[in-house]
Amino acid sequence: MALHFPLLALEALPLRQSPSAVVSRGRVLVCDRLAAEAGVSAGQKLSTALGLQPGLAVSERDAAREGSALESLACWAGRFTPTLSLSPPAGLLLEIGGCLRLFGGVEVIVEAVLGGCAGQSYSTLWAVAPTPLGARWLAQAAAGEIHQEAPAMQAALAALPCGVTGWPDEVVKRLESFGLKRLGDLRILPGAGLRRRIGNGPVDDLLRAWGELADPQKPFIFPEIFGSHIELPARVEHAEALAFAGQRLFAALTGWLHGRQLLVRACSLHLTHDDGAQSALVLRFAEPAADEGRFLRLLREHLSQLKLAAPVEALRLQADEVVNKPGASAHLFDQPLAGEGALACLERLRARLGEAAVQVLGEVADYRPECATREFDPATDFAFSGASTARFTSPRPLWLLPVPQALGERGGSPHWHGPLKLLSRAERLESGWWDEGERGAAGDVRRDYFVARNPQGQWAWVFRDAEGWFLHGLFA
């Protein structure tokens, strides 16, 4: 699948207003729709374009920005195929033959690719063909067609004008002087004579496009470390408005993760303010992920709580912690769609309520009830693997009192809203000598625990020690 971005030189610029155009060496390279409606076209002199549209906003071509935008698009396209190539100055080649079964057909891939390009506000021409050069020529001619078989592709190529190939102007003019305007006209001529007249390069291009000569492509190498930068078209004063620009950055991050078979645990969005100051928004995930929708939901939660110190002019997204993507087996039969999941919900709650507001309760290898659990950070310790935790055969209450409550005793039985009936045998808990005397520590304890019930039907967890009876927990 060949993608051609005819307005990349214009769309790669952050600050532009309509009507606008990009010029190179005093001539118009590309222009937007309003400028084209006024008569501006590629190849015109700048003076002519300004005469047709006096309010034309003119920018010099920035090849570095174009190259950066094209590489960002290549990273984004990694979600569709790991094998792709840059086709400078404004094209991509995606090898999708090995991905058809994964996506369910070429039409599904085409629809997804075009939807992603539109979501990033890029104008796109495309074509699908068996050969790279054939697909690229068809895309540049705005074919917008799928040709899975060579004969259909060759028939479509034969109808294309010679100017679509990008050959030097002198070659195209010489062919027109011979009365050869379409590629199909060149195919019927003897190859040896054609080589003498226009050279070996154009003839070899024809053979590559028709699939008669090998045409290996230089693969795009996904960068080792992901970092993508974008300048905003206008200063942003409210944090929520950064979500739209962030969508393009996270789209590239998702494609990069798929291309390198990685998952991200933490990433940071660096904000450049109009006064030159820098700030960073760190996004941590409860589990490694590579889902663009999940990234954007968490970003919006953080932005809703963020107050900008100054207007923002540029964004940079950087992947800080990544892990290898583990292999997984698909289900034999179709499974119902899962919900958001507990870990994704934790991420959104932490973004909304604060990093310390949501914690995970985990076990600790200690028999003393007040020391048997502690809070863990879900972003880093949700899947913690500490020392082997204590295993209890007797029931434990969900609600434990912060401090054991002393109970009255009548006739040798504890009372709590009435006399308590002991429902279990005594469970002796005795340990803690190692922190005896330490400030804030539970210390050495010797207790006999019972499950009890009062006349109101409430179930309690009580214990008896040398000082008497105490209430320590309540069962749900």
Closest C-alpha to 418, from 392, 383, 451, 453: 453
Is the pTM higher than 0.75? The answer reads no
Q: How confident is the model at residue 15 (pLDDT cuts 50, 70, 90)?
A: low
223 vs 68: CA distance, rounded Å? 12
For 247-262, write each residue's pLDDT tens digit: 989 999 999 999 999 9
- Architecture in CATH of 227-324: 2-Layer Sandwich (3.30)
452 vs 371: CA distance, rounded Å? 22
For 158-201, write each residue's pLDDT tens digit: 999 999 999 998 999 999 888 899 999 999 988 888 899 899 99
What residues contact 21, with CB distance under 8 A and at least 6 apart? 10, 28, 29, 30, 31, 32, 35, 40, 49, 56, 57, 58, 59
Q: Give Cα 430 to chain centroid, integer Å.
A: 52
For 371-430, write each residue's pLDDT tens digit: 888 877 766 654 444 444 455 667 888 889 989 999 998 888 899 999 999 999 999 988
pLDDT reported for residue 330: 67
Ranges of CATH 3.30.1490.100 domains, the chain:
227-324
DSSP labels for 178-205? TT--BHHHHHTS-HHHHHHHH-HHHHHH
Q: Are 40 and 56 in contact (CB under 8 A)?
A: yes
53 vs 49: CA distance, rounded Å? 6
